[in-house]
Amino acid sequence: MNDATRTGSISKEAAPTPALGAEPGSVASRRVSAVIGCFIKCFLRSVAIALGLIIAALPALLCRAESMFSSRGEFMMFCGQALALLPGLPGSYLRVCFYFLTLKSCSLSCSIGFLSCLNDRQAELGQGVIIGSHVTIGRVSIGARSLIGSRSSLMSGGRQHQFGPDGRLTSFNRAEAQHVRVGEDTWIGESSMVMADVGSRCIISAGSVVTNAVPDRQIWGGNPARFIKRH
């Protein structure tokens, strides 16, 4: 064996091996990029929320003034329906900011879809609630991280109208509205109608009509909605 071959063999044997657990440069760079992307996303969201709060401040202030003289909330409904027409992320941010300033409770981490509106000041939205498009919500409290499917209606109880002394149906009386509660981590399926309380970690199948209270961790479906199974 010549000197060149011997030297090459020694060089290969003496070459340091990568340390156990060391990460390739590409993985580290991807992690750094992910952190930077997350930071930029959070920064842009904060800017969008700040701008939304500034824009929504005036109509929200007028709604507060209205609540001092009237319990009907017509101006609030007008503003909510107008904001419901705004598409995309700008519309969602503006709706969340407006309801943050006007509802009894509304987290800024919520998402409210196109053509969706809340028509009662006593409504409450927990953290991370996601509301689809074309949703109408009355005097309802929705727990954290719950999902409300598109075209659903969460009503202020089941007694919307009554027969008057003359035998005719009366219009909706806000003073007699019931407060309906939806628990945390619950999924209300698309095109459902909810008139009674729904517990936490429940699933209401699409197109259901809920007229009786639903306990925690149950799946209900149908018209009227009935118990299917626990999960």
CA distance 192 to 176: 23
- The answer to whether residue 11 is domain-embedded is no
The label of the residue with tokens 């590409």 reads: 26
- The answer to whether residue 23 is domain-embedded is no
pLDDT in tens, 149-198: 999 999 998 777 777 788 787 777 776 788 999 999 999 999 999 999 99
CA distance 134 to 74: 19
Q: How many residues does the chain have?
A: 231
**Per-residue pLDDT band at 27 (split at 50, 70, 90):** confident
**Residue 136 bridge partners (DSSP):** 117, 153
DSSP label at 174? Answer: G
- The answer to whether residue 22 is domain-embedded is no
pLDDT reported for residue 172: 72
**Per-residue pLDDT band at 7 (split at 50, 70, 90):** very low
Lowest-confidence range among 12-16, 41-45, 218-222?
Answer: 12-16
Q: Give the domain range for residue 156.
A: 30-160+177-230
pLDDT reported for residue 25: 56
- The answer to whether residue 187 is domain-embedded is yes
197: CB partners within 8 A, 6+ apart: 180, 181, 182, 213, 214
- The answer to whether residue 168 is domain-embedded is no
* CATH code for the domain in which residue 108 is found: 2.160.10.10
- The answer to whether residue 2 is domain-embedded is no
- The answer to whether residue 13 is domain-embedded is no
- The answer to whether residue 133 is domain-embedded is yes
pLDDT in tens, 84-117: 999 999 999 999 999 999 999 999 999 999 999 9
How many distinct structural domains can be found in the chain?
1
